[in-house]
Chains A and B, each alone.
Chain A
Amino acid sequence: MKTRQTARNEQGHAYTYIGNPLPKVDAYAKVTGRALYADDIMLPRMLYGRLLRSPHPHARILSIDIRQALELPGVLAVITGEDLPQKFGILPSSQDEYALAREKVRYVGDPVAAVAALDPDILDEAIRLIKVEYEVLPALMSIDEALAHPDIKINDEARIGNIHKAVSYEFGEVDAGFAQADYVREDWFYYEGNNHAPIEAHACVANWEPMPTDPVGGKLTLWSSTQTPHYVHREVSKVLGLPQSHVRVIAPHVGGGFGGKSDPFSHEICACELSRRTGRPVKITCTREEVFLLHRGRHPVKMWIKTGVKRDGTLTAMHFRSFLDGGAYGSYGIATTYYTGALQTVTYTLPCYKFEGMRLFTNKPPCGPKRGHGTTQPRYAVEVHLDKIAHDLGLDPVEFRRRNLIEPYTHTINGLRITTCALGPCLDQVVARSHWNEFHSAQAMTSLSSNGHVADTAISPPPSHSRGGGGVDEGRGPLRSPSAGLGLPEGNAASIKRGMGIAASSYICGAGKPIYWNDLPHSAVQIRLDRGGGVTVYCGATDIGQGSTSILAYIVAEELGVQPGHIHLETADTTLTPVDLGSYSSRVTFMAGNAAIAAALKLKGQLFEAVSAQLLVPEERLRAENGVIYDEDDPGTSLSFIQAVQLAEARYGALVASGSYAPPEGIHGDYKGAGVGPSPAYSYSACVAQVAVDVETGEVVVEKLWLAHDVGQSINPLLVAGQVEGGAYMGYGEAVMEQQIFRKGRHKIPSLLDYKLPTTLDTPEIETILVEIPDREGPFGGKEAGQGPLNPVIPAIANAVYDAVGVRIDETPITADKLRAEVTPARWAPRPQVMPSEAPSPWPTRLIKWQPEEKGVR
């Protein structure tokens, strides 16, 4: 990590806690095994529940016979779709799921029935005894099959055939933009789907407490490993027909989410219903296989891009199309579809931009949001596409990117407001630290004799040319001794080729609009001070390991001048805590952080008023620090925090204050669909990857990743670096190994043995660089770090592979078999290019044309 200077506020005061590498407030609970996760909760008389899931990718349910299961001793309840007839879904526009399938199943794993029994052994037997009769229907397992068979309708939400959602936008005059270009290039890319694979499988415990005097009949509590207790609360209430006042959802410690625990799930609703029916607590813990089946992971996306550039590298126009493989249900998919197009304008300035996207239903586990939600796939495609353009035109890929960087404090062509942007410094940092220029000059020196894939500055190579020269550059020996020398492919050293690639990206710091559009706060924090000096912070924010609970503690500690360890925290409880919409869209530090500041400032105001009256010191001279409130001009004149609290309580009564946050107005355009993409701020990241490719085996070893991230201001640099490193790791996995594979309608590898994810032996060294230029609206200047840093990693690796061996694999993951087929085509049949998809023509939705009234308004 970069050596950092003490962070200061605008008046030049050094922060006490902000910007310091403090332990997380829950770190000791986690390292001692005391932290309780959903599956660790055991209640008296608790039952165990499990779901029976469909073995067919697409079938009509003819009958379900639960009699034998019900008769099994130890079985207390069996429910089917008839018992939970209310549809639900995370988005108001995609209410297409039943907790248990009715009439049809749409993927292998679609829940059909649920059982509650005394112990898991009985559950196994009971599940076996449920007899379901199916009429098997043809299954559509890919984007192209879904497009080709509109007659086989998977989900009635699809408006045309299996098209769940189609969108079409033109911002500015795209034809005119292309007309100004000196060079235009088109490419197709495919990004494979993958799973979040949090180490904690989804689990929940539901507890219905009957109350005969209440007309509703009782109250329900659900502990669940969820990132979004607020939305689970909403959907559980809806499906069970209970007022929200009678449902309490609590997220205990959550063992990783990465987007995979952001939906309301069948197992949560079934646990609640089984508890209501039996009057006993019910726990459902998903198996690892079920985690792969309930999924909501990265959408497989096929993409086509056409970009116009001037000879000097200035971008003149972009036309982008995405085809998303959505799986069987909606989930967040409509938002994902928009996200594949919305942020292209946020990294580089585009004077005009056309975006067409569509999401298809297929008979696969439903896709949803995974870290980088809908922006990871296009970021990969755009950054590789731009790399190709740079090579085509003989431009330096770094300079090419720098030339087009978005300007801070502008609006994009699609109406998004940009505030701070430190992408330039991020690029500078990764270039300097990776010795990018030295690497490439040495590479050029040693490869003078053979220049296979570096195109001349020809202006019009054929547009279909998307795989480079296809040859292996001989004589590109090792340029620097490998930094670590670890995990190199074995074998003939001459067969190892090294390369470096670069990519840049941007990400939202929280969705500018809530899932249900309304004028309510997105996040709220309540703080209570008690006369013993206790500080309790209540907030709905859900800590999934990113450290959101700790962030609340540091912020309140900084404002009130008490130690973070002093503060009690109550979080992620829909009854006790004020709302926070959830841990998605990288929104929590920005939004809950600002809400916490607002609440703390109110209390600080009351404390200062009381102290000012007591000490006869004007309020503006008072400071709160280290448990003392003192006169800045005469630090000896002071009161302890406890004395101040007692004075204030005597003066005002109980000391409770709340603060809330909603993103500002005017950060997006006024067209339909403008709600996806706006954010109160954007983070920026740049990555350089160094790879070694064995041209004999096709094996890719990523030797090192340098990742610079524009975080505004680290609230805690330790946690920010942890997010950057975790994002780099996850991006690395997606780039070279992680993928869903289906065979005959079934997920072929639903286990952590077969689904390859990076172990210690695989993961490259990661060098993190934090770039800190405080954002005016972020809490203490902070911006997000949870998702953005993943995005540049995949294209940086892809570009590095090309730099090493001169071939492009225009799909993920870049595996040894694909590379070997490309680099030694004589012996191995080359794989086909990413084949174009045949979209209905015209694009099956009305084009929305829009442009900002006044370009570049502030």
Chain B
Amino acid sequence: MDTGHTAWLLTCSALVLFMTPGLALFYGGMVRGRNVLAMLMKNYVAMGVVTVTWIVIGYSLAFSGDAGGLGLIGDLEFFALGELGFGTEIGLDDGEGYPDSVFLVFQLMFAIITPALISGAIAERMKFTSWVVFIAIWSIVVYAPMAHWVWGGGFIGSTDGTEIPGVGAIDFAGGLVVHINAGAAALALVLVLGPRLGWRSEIIRPHSLPLTVLGAGILWFGWFGFNAGSALAADGAAANAFLTTQIAAGVAALAWVLSEQVMHGRPTTLGFASGIVAGLVAITPAAGFVSPLWAGVIGLAAGVICFAALQLKFRFNFDDSLDVVAVHMVGGIVGALLLGLFAEAAIGGVDGAFFGAAEQFLRQVISIVIAVVFSFVATYVIAIIIDRTMGLRVSEDEERRGLDITLHEEQGYVLTE
């Protein structure tokens, strides 16, 4: 066992877990005060629900190997942990590795935050019980297969040369698996759920941007575990991913507020916080494959394009309340596409179009189309089924009175003793 790698991955696992509370604050500040607890809770509950689904079956479906050699899904070898080895070593070619349990727990944290990301789209109107059922099903039926396809030996990540004929796309830390997946799912869920009462007719504004800004800072901090940890080793690749992550986030935040300055005449606090997240999303698939300067270009593109993508929901009339589509789906696509141009074999072993391998760009395009279509369609079906059986939405009366008091019998802000 390599104690350095093991220690680093345990640390990164904790960092990635900490992103979900950060995300909860990021989202919680953006809703109205009467829904703040309901928003926090929809994020936090993922830390419970997905821990269970991942341990029971999700990890096995994603990472146990490949059932039938088709590259579609794992088998049940690790069902309820199965024969998972707590002392055996996996991961590295040179035999220097870390325990299976470390990989399981690191991947668990990704499986937790991905459905939590979707919660921003359904803010202020979705039933809590239906949300719990949704993320339990979604983490098994949508997340686990996608993780298998890209990282678990499935058909998106594998190349033609291997046993399973595949797309050969690359995704360092989850552009496809986490962000495009969550963004496309958010779009599907919102289309079934419908807009909030008063959307586009009443003022619906963030109740506490300080919470949001704090949340964005925690996300940035945790994201180093997400991206640098995805090197699955404490080595130069991790260091490169750390550096590219920092650069992309900083440049994207600046690009976002510059865009605001040009379009609206004011740089906003919410804009800077949003730009941070857009940059982090876009660099996620690329962090270990591109050089630091190209990471800056990815950050620049993410800041400008995600800011422009905010208009999509008004143009096509869907209430993606906290802009999960504009930031995560669009940001993820920006990163996954530019990765196909800027990837450099000297950095992460794969060349993109700018370094002589035009086919890598095509592979990225194909992988994005597959991820968007699969996530959208599967999520749409799950949403329809839950809507027809349990109902997705709270009543109009509950929505007007606020979800904190009606769903949880609590208030976020008690203004008297």
- To the question of whether A and B form a pair in one complex, the answer is no
